[in-house]
Each structure stands twice: as C-alpha cells, then as structure tokens.
Amino acid sequence: MTARRGIALLAAVWLVVAIGALSLEVSWLTRTRRLATLNALESEQARSAAIAGLAHARGRLTRALGAAGNDALADPWGAVLGGASDTLGTAVYAFEVQDDGALLDVNRATEAMLARLFSACGADARDATAAAAHIADWRDADNVRRVGGAERDDYLAAGARMLPANAEVQRVSELDDLLNLPRAWSCVRPLLTVHGAGLVNPNTAPSEVLQALPGLTANAAQAIVAARHAGRVREWRDLLAALPPGSRAGVEREADALQRLLVYETHVVHVTSEARVASGPTSVVAEALMQRMGGTVFTAWRSFR
C-alpha cells in the first residue's frame, strides 16, 4: 500500500511539473507571437510613414512647378532641395530631396570620369585608375578582366562575400563589395547615383563631381562653385565666364564632350524618406527618383529597405 502511495505521489509531482513546463512553453510562444505581431505592425506603420514622406516631398515638388508659372529663367526645384520632417500617427518621418544632377551616375560614367572622381577625393593616380577599373568590371556583361581590375575568378580566389553582378549597378551599396577599395571610397560613395539621367548640374554638384567631368580641373571646379554663389549658372557662356583664364582653354578643348554632360536646372531628384515608430526601434527607408515632365512630377522608381 505504501509503495502504491509513493508511486501515486511521484506521478502527481511529475504531472505538476509537466503542466508547469507546458504553461511556460505556452506563455513563451504567446509572448513570442505577440512580439512578432507588434514588430510586424510597427514595420508596417514605419513603411506607411516612409511612403508619406515621399508623398510629402512630391507635393512640395508639384507646388514648386505651379509657383514657377511661365518664368523661363527660374529653376522651379532649386528652392525645394533639402529636407523636412513630420509625423503620421505614432510614426515620425524625415525626408531629403537631392538634385540627381549633383551626383555622378555610376552606370553612365566612363572609366576616366570615375578615376578622376577618385582622384578628386584624394586617391593617388594608381589607386584611382584601379578603382575605376574595378567598377567597370563589376558593371560590364563579360568576365574579361581590365588592367588593374577584377572579375569573378579574382573574387572567388579572395573568398569574397559577393561576386560581380556583370550588370548595371542597382544600388551604390553593391560596390561596397569591390576588391581593394581605396580609402577615398568613403568620399566617393555618397557622390554616386544610379538610374539617373546621367547629367551633372554645375549649380548643385560639389567640386569633386565637377572635377570628374572632361576638361574641368580642380581650379575650374572651384571657380564654378564660387561663381554660383553670386547667381545661377544658366548656360554654357555663364560657365565659361566663371573660369579663370588658365582653365578656359582646357575646357574649350573638351567642349563637345562636356556640354553633352551638363544640365543647368534641377530636372531629376533623388528623394530619401526615413521613418520610425516613436515607441520602438523599427525603421524603414524609402527611396524614389522623381522627374519633372512639364507640370507633372513622375516617379521613375521606388524602393524600400
């Protein structure tokens, strides 16, 4: 009888332990699912707010086109560049509008232009040439290595995380995986764009981007930057007039190639909108390329991360 009672007591203890363990597991699963649901809701709220930021920017761009009216000398979007922030429910968003013409399109730029950009950012001639060759090998459709460049076999041998895309660059961040990037990359990276018009605006482009263009030396680029503070560079003659005598001859020699790369108004903008829910760490970044076509703002592409 005593043995039976002991067995019954032991069984009861194990039952209590099992029920307790089951309760803990159910509690853990419930909490995990609750957190997952909250994270999903916060992510969706942040995404909606990021989209609202893009819409806010687009509204500003549209109003600017209407305000310009028939003023042919105005750059309607010139005054809209910059950022702003607002709230949407419990989420906060901040957006920035940047002239795409202030950047160099990494898919349209020649190797020589890319090398000059690296040089303008402080790379020596050898590193600048090699970095440009690496970018060209990454974006071209073949596996033929350029002098100083790198192709698929080189990345495999180096145990690289990513292999060359052998296609147009979709995001500038792809190029973080290039082999042997020089220190100047930290300066070059924010000066590049993708999917843009491939044109450079001398009214908004920094000196480094201007120096990437044919015929523009550091002195010429600095003179253009200084001249635009006194008034917008409206055409080719204004640009020539801004140059010091010693720089003008070189620019005129490259006039045909250079003029094809210039635009004097803001026609295409890159909009970045970042949003987060105030109560949590979740954030979403939305990007869009917006173009003006007459009085209409057209969104060329949009992406999220």
Q: How many other CB atoms are found less than 10 A from the CB of residue 206?
A: 14
Q: What is the pLDDT of residue 230?
A: 87
Which regions of the chain are under pLDDT 70? 1-36, 38, 68-73
Domain boundaries, given as residue ranges, for the chain: 2-102+266-304, 113-181
**Which CATH number does 113-181 carry?**
1.10.40.60
Convert the pLDDT of each residue in 257-292 to its tens digit.
999 999 999 999 999 999 999 877 889 999 999 999
Q: What is the pTM of this model?
A: 0.81
* Alpha carbon 89 to chain centroid, angstroms: 27
CATH fold label, 2-102+266-304: Pantoate--beta-alanine Ligase; Chain: A,domain 2 (3.30.1300)
Could you tell me where the beta strands, DSSP code E, fall in the chain?
Answer: 82-88, 91-99, 104-105, 192-193, 268-277, 283-293, 296-304
Residue 103: DSSP 8-state: S
Report the alpha-carbon distance of residue 28 to residue 110 in Å, rounded: 57
Nearest to 277 by CA among 100, 45, 99: 45
Match 């949590």 to its residue by tokens: 280
Give the pLDDT confidence score for residue 24 in this predicted structure.
60
118, 127 Cβ separation under 8 angstroms: yes
The set of long-range contacts for 80-84, using a CB threshold of 8 Å and a minimum separation of 24, is 80/266, 80/269, 81/204, 81/266, 81/269, 84/56, 84/57, 84/60
Tens digits of per-residue pLDDT, 127-173? 999 999 999 999 999 999 999 999 999 999 999 999 999 999 999 99
> 258 with 216: CB under 8 angstroms?
yes
**Rounded CA separation 45/283 (Å):** 9
